[in-house]
Amino acid sequence: MATILLTEARFYPHLNEMLLAGARAAIEKAGHKHETLTVPGALELPGAIALAARSGRFCAFVALGVVIRGETYHFEVVSSESARGLLDLTLQGFAIGNGILTVEDEAQAIVRADPGQGDKGGDAARAALALYELREQYGP
């Protein structure tokens, strides 16, 4: 039984609750344990995962959060750089599922976050588990 760390950027709590519910259900269905770590925003997710990975307690990681387009260029920076940071860690051998939603508005986020609709939290957890299984099969 593996322990998976759910890292969440808690900028939109009501949306994160849906992402977390989907991720937790997917991990529990697969027979694994999970813990949750909260950070302020999506840009902090890669750093939090890198720090938590040093502990050696977690076999995989799920990054969860919501970035909604605003009136400034900040949306592009946050969405691109958080994804880049997660990809960099994945290429270093960490099993990470990216569940950071990048959407135009809250309505899109709800559809994607809701476990009964898009279930992107569950999808991210399943992706992390798939990468964990690959790493177990092929070695670190």
**Per the annotation, does 44 bind a ligand?**
yes
Residue type, 26: A
- Quick one: DSSP state of residue 41? S
**Per the annotation, does 27 bind a ligand?**
no
**Per the annotation, does 77 bind a ligand?**
no
Distance CA 103, CA 131 (A): 25
**Per the annotation, does 8 bind a ligand?**
no
Distance CA 134, CA 60 (A): 11
Q: Are 95 and 60 in contact (CB under 8 A)?
A: yes
**Per the annotation, does 16 bind a ligand?**
no
**Per the annotation, does 71 bind a ligand?**
yes
Token readout for 26 is 């997917």
Phi then psi dihedrals of residue 67, to 5 deg = -120, 115
For the annotated catalytic residues, the residue numbers are 74
**Per the annotation, does 49 bind a ligand?**
no
CB within 8 Å of 87: residues ≥ 6 apart: none
Residues within the annotated binding site for (2S)-2-hydroxy-3-oxobutyl phosphate? 71-72, 112
Residues within the annotated binding site? 11, 42-44, 66-68, 71-72, 98, 112
Residues within the annotated binding site for 5-amino-6-(D-ribitylamino)uracil? 11, 42-44, 66-68, 98
